[in-house]
Structure formats: structure tokens, C-alpha cells
Amino acid sequence: MQPNTKGFLARVMVSGLFVFLISPTTSIQAWQKEPLEVYRARRAAVMDKLKDGVIVLFGLKDSERADSDLTPFRQDDYFYYLSGWNEPGAILVLLPKGRQNIATAMFPSEQLTREVLFLPDHDPVRERWTGPKLSPQDKQAIAATGFPLVLPVERFPGEMSNALGTTQVIYMILPSAGINAQHSREEEKVSQLHMLSPFAEIRDARSVLDNLRQVKSKSELALLQKAIDASVDAHLAATKAIKPGAYEYQAAALLKYTWENEGCEGAAYAPIVGSGFDSTVLHYNQNTGLMKSGETLVVDAAGDYSGYAADITRTYPVDGKFSERQKQIYELVLGAQETAANSIVPGKTLLRSITQVVKDYFKQSPLRGPKGENDTLDHYFIHGAGHWIGLEVHDVGDYTRPVDKNMVFTIEPGIYIPEESLGVRIEDDYMVNDEGKVVKLSSRLPSSIQEIERLMSGKTSKSVSQR
């Protein structure tokens, strides 16, 4: 049976003539968004690559977050990347140009109807608790979202069962490897679409979106730089709390205060502030230990600015001066980072290959671990040397794709010797600029032994402490 295209078309056309209600208060998104045309261009790029199907993305609902009453709402990253919309319960539908099937027949005006955003209606009771949200009936809905058509989310099942009734292909975010599909949010959405379109083939849009997200726009780079700058300032502030007899959480408190004071919505990940033996525990984040003289303190901490994550690590001497052994290990780690950065040839080097560069650098060192002559220090480097950053601190992206222009990544070698309670990690954020050069975005934070010890003494130059 053919869907009632005329009835649906009439409803769509009427939707453009709604007399929108004026809400006395409307939602203001705290995040610094990119220009709406950037999101529009991304949607166009996705539609150009996925021409043979309808694209459906589901935004997060408050009810899908376990901590919804305790933490601010944060949109699903894929949904936000295409929409710039950071309120709960939205659904995005894209209809690629040139499709010769029932879906395009329902939307004769491509400029008006190729992109549809479904939003929840106002819930006055809920909004008394969470604050006002934008409704599709609000007169500013189109201008605020940048979508040519904004409809109530309650209409999604009926509209899409018609639009997808004879569609052969639907693209969405399918469950990723390692997730229990039976209990994943994505699997629930797959089931929902199968109910609306039983004969459709549902495909994963993840690889196309990952590929796009890997190359940052100029506005994304600006947001990342703000996250990085706030994180650098946080590290500079935290050094004031590093001393024998102080607690790790005191340094962590200064980190959090500083980046939030500069506009970050919070930490990009649980801050790692570990001294002594804890400096050798990669993801230690209790931050409860007492700092002692003679120890190193690994501070792996960064803020999240408008959804974009920095990732920075420094290692500090608790009493302001590195011991001779600490200097040796520190210089080795710093040399490995510089060697890895210099090894990158834009357009050719795979990010994952720098891990081997670091391992080789450590193995060739004359320094040894506590187990004797054959105990080369590459044995104490136990993680990858770099990863992509962006909307996630370990951002999506193909590690078989060469590092190239406008890609942003970390380089983070480290050596961890539990027997000596000695851990050293140095991590910075890098990108390849328009000239094809590898640039360190977090270079304002000191990294040499001399600079670190000067910073700990409080004699930091203005060029370091000021932007």
C-alpha cells in the first residue's frame, strides 16, 4: 500500500505556516556554538556521501542519562556535530538530494525540506526543574536551530512511517564494537526504526561521520584552542598547591576552579593528580594522596570548552627540584616526545606509528630499569603515544589514515617504574596547520626541566603566565 503522500505533503506545507507561540523565556545555550552555516555544511557533506538512504540521528533524552539530575545536559556527540543542538529529546532527519523514491516526493521543495529537526513540545512541569527549552512552536525555532523545518517530536513516528514506508536504506548510528547491543541505546533506536520501516536496510553512518570529524573546521580549532588555553592556565595555577605535605586534591581543586572560571563546562575527563607510587598508575584519579618530598607528581588534566576537549599532562617535582634520577627519566620522556613530533610527515605518517618511535627511543637509551642490564626502559612505556582529540578526549577517527591538515592529536610518552615509585608523563596537543607544519597548541605550558623548576619556584616569565 502506498503512503498517503498528499496528506503528508499538506501537513508539511501547513507546518511552514504555523502561528508560533511566543514564549516569555526561551532557552539560551551556554555553549559557544559554531556558526549555523558550519553545521549546515556538515549536513550537506553527509547527505552527499550517503545518497542512497534517509539519515536519522537521535539526540539524547534526559531519561537516557543515568545522572540527568546531577550533571548538566550534554548532547550525543554525533548529533551535536551535525546540528549544534544541545537540548534533550531531539531527532534529526536528512533526505539526500536526488533520491528517486517516495521520501523525496514528499518534500518537493528541497531547500525547505531536506533537513528536518524534531523537537519536544514545552513541558511546563519539567521546565520548572530544568529551565525553559525551545519548542517547535516558538517563533524563533528556525532561526535558533538553523533548520528550515522544525516539527514536534511527537509527529516523528507518523511522519517517518509514511516517509520510510518504501525506503530501502536508512542510515543511523549503529552499536559500536564491544557494546552489548541488546542493552545499548543504539539498539533500541534500530528497533524503533524497524517498527516504522520493517523492510528497510539499516546501515551505519558512523564511518562517514568519523571521517568528517577527524578534520577540524576553523571554528572547531578555535574552540579547541580555548579549551587548551584554559587547561594551560589551570596547570599553572595548580603548581601553587604542589609542595610536601599538601594533598593531591588541593592541586586538583585549583585545576577545576581555573578552567571553569575561564568558561569550561567542566573537566574533559576525570583529572589525574598522582604523586609517588600513584604517579605510576595510568588512570589514577582518587587524588587523595599526601605529596611527599622527593616524589614526582603526574598531573594529567584538562578542561572541556563548549564540548571540545583538551588533554595535557605534566610531571612536577613535589619539592620544586628534580632528583638526578628523575631528571634522567624526565629528559628521556621529553626527548621521546620531541622525536615523535619531528617524525610526523603530514599526509604520510600514521598517528599510531609514533608509538613505535617512542618505544625505539626508550629502548636505545643507556638508562636501565631496576631489574638489571637487560631492563631497557621501553618495558616501562605501557600505552599508546597519541590519539585524536575533539568532541571526545579520545576522539573518533581512523588510525590508518595519515595525519594531515587540520587534524588535532596528542603526543604523550611516559615511563612508569612502580619499583621506584617514579612516573613521568608529558603530553601536549598538536595539529597540522594550513602550511603542513606540525604545531604544538599547548606550547605555552613549560616542559623543559629548567622551565618546570623555574615555574615551581614562582619565577615564571610573563610570556608563560599570560596569553
Q: Three-class SS string for 254-319?
A: HHHHHHHHCCCCEECCCCEEEEHHHHHCCCCCCCCCECCCCCEEEEECCEEECCEECCCEEEEECC
Check residue 193 and give its pLDDT: 87
The DSSP code for 351 is G
Check residue 103 and give its pLDDT: 42
The DSSP code for 184 is -
Residue 68 corresponds to which cell in the numbers above?
Answer: 540527568
Q: How far is CA 439 from the centre of its chain?
A: 20
Enumerate residues 6+ apart whose C-beta is below 8 A from 85. 59, 75, 79, 117, 145
Average pLDDT of span 36-51: 95
CB 264 within 8 A of CB 250: no
The DSSP code for 212 is H
Range in 15-19, 61-65, 149-153, 210-214 the model is least confident about: 15-19
Structural domains for the chain: 5-213 (3.40.350.10), 215-465 (3.90.230.10)
Asked whether the predicted pLDDT for residue 182 surpasses 70, the reply is no
Asked whether the predicted pLDDT for residue 326 surpasses 80, the reply is yes
Range in 52-61, 74-83, 218-227 the model is least confident about: 52-61
Check residue 7 and give its pLDDT: 36
Average pLDDT of span 138-163: 90
Asked whether the predicted pLDDT for residue 246 surpasses 70, the reply is yes
Give CA–CA dist 394/392, Å, rounded: 5
Enumerate residues 6+ apart whose C-beta is below 8 A from 261. none
Query: CA dist 281 to 17, 78, 320, Å?
Result: 60, 32, 22
Asked whether the predicted pLDDT for residue 72 surpasses 90, the reply is no
Higher pLDDT, residue 110 or 53: 53
Check residue 180 and give its pLDDT: 46
Asked whether the predicted pLDDT for residue 13 surpasses 50, the reply is no
- Hey, is 56 helix, strand or coil? strand
- By CB atoms closer than 10 A (0-12, 13-18, 19+), residue 37 is exposed
Range in 9-18, 154-163, 323-332 the model is least confident about: 9-18
Q: For 355-398, how does the pLDDT look when each residue is reduced to its tens digit (9 = 90+)? A: 999 999 999 999 999 999 999 999 999 999 999 999 999 999 99
Higher pLDDT, residue 200 or 378: 378
Other C-beta atoms closer than 10 Å to the C-beta of 392 total 18
Range in 62-66, 273-277, 311-315 the model is least confident about: 62-66
Sign of torsion, CA 377 378 384 386? positive
Average pLDDT of span 413-419: 98
Check residue 32 and give its pLDDT: 93
Residue 310 corresponds to which cell in the numbers above?
Answer: 583538551
Q: For 201-211, how does the pLDDT look when each residue is reduced to its tens digit (9 = 90+)? A: 999 999 999 99
Asked whether the predicted pLDDT for residue 58 surpasses 50, the reply is yes
Query: CA dist 233 to 121, 236, 309, 445, Å?
Result: 41, 5, 15, 8
